[in-house]
Amino acid sequence: MFPIEKIRELETIVGLRHFSAQMMLEYIAEERAHLDPGAAHFYCDNFDYNHAKIGENIITSYALYWDPSLGQVNSDGSVCVLVYKDDKNRTAFVHDILYMSVLDDDIHPLASQCEQVIDFMQKHRVTKIGIETNGMGNALPEIMHRVAQDRQYLMHILRVSNHTKKETRILNSLEPMLNTGRLYLHDKIKQTILLSEMLAWSPIGSKEHDDGLDAIAGALAMMSCPIHPLKEHIKLIKANTDFQI
């Protein structure tokens, strides 16, 4: 009833496990799922702002997502991640990730993190960010706006409230991308703990940190900001020299 190319396209979109369970009626238990960092593609290219490209890949949008915590010792990690997207090919490029920490005696740990996030945004020339506002993150948008105002940095903040279990969010967002070869990681990611998080992660819960994975899941799920090549906005103007002095 359906063309084979459409079936394969659907399999690519939803991932092998979901396709097997929902379309082939062959259930695969969630606890059998895992995140294999070896299934990701690694790249070393910088983002080309003029042509909106990473290598030969055309980038159409980006998502910047912050999964916050107090960032202190023995607490959950506070992570901000930048993901570029090629929406036409449904691929995602985890371009940079920021694991934040503050001193235990920091009087204003959230404001200190806001400073780090704004530095991160300026570095990558982005002005839109999604912030998870569950729990302690509820006050962050106001703090972020105040810090940005002091630094005269204009930005737009998208409040994100998650009600789905973290393991489910990670499983549904990252597993299909990895299984279908659509997740790309910048080489600098190897210098962080993200790959270790992938190896240790379990859909039934783990004592290991998974805050970087949760941040990426949030970036993949949030509404992206469109990107246009800068060269499109550059127009050559020819002066009229047909005049006499």
Say what percent of the chain tops pLDDT 70: 84
Give the residue among 180, 181, 189, 177 at the shortest CA–CA distance from 44: 189
- pTM, two decimals, is 0.83
**Total count of domains within the chain:** 2
On whether both 51 and 164 belong to a single domain, the answer is yes
H or E segment to which residue 240 belongs: none
pLDDT tens, 125-148?
Answer: 999 999 999 887 888 999 999 999
Residues 174-204: b if buried by 16+ CB within 10 A, e if exposed: bbbbbbbebbbbbeebeebbbbebbeebbbe
Is position 65 within any domain? yes
Range of the domain at 14: 1-32
Q: Helix 140-150 vs helix 109-124: angle between axes, to the nearest 10 degrees?
A: 60
On whether both 14 and 90 belong to a single domain, the answer is no
Residue 196 region by backbone torsions, left for phi larger than 0, else alpha for psi between -120 and 50, else beta: alpha
On whether both 96 and 188 belong to a single domain, the answer is yes
pLDDT tens, 183-196?
Answer: 999 999 999 999 99
**What DSSP string describes 71-139?**
--TTS--EEEEEEEEETTTTEEEEEEEEEE---TT-S-HHHHHHHHHHHHHHHHT--EEEEE-SGGGGG
Tokens of 151: 């630094």
On whether both 67 and 138 belong to a single domain, the answer is yes
pLDDT tens, 88-133?
Answer: 989 999 999 999 988 878 888 889 999 999 999 999 999 999 999 9
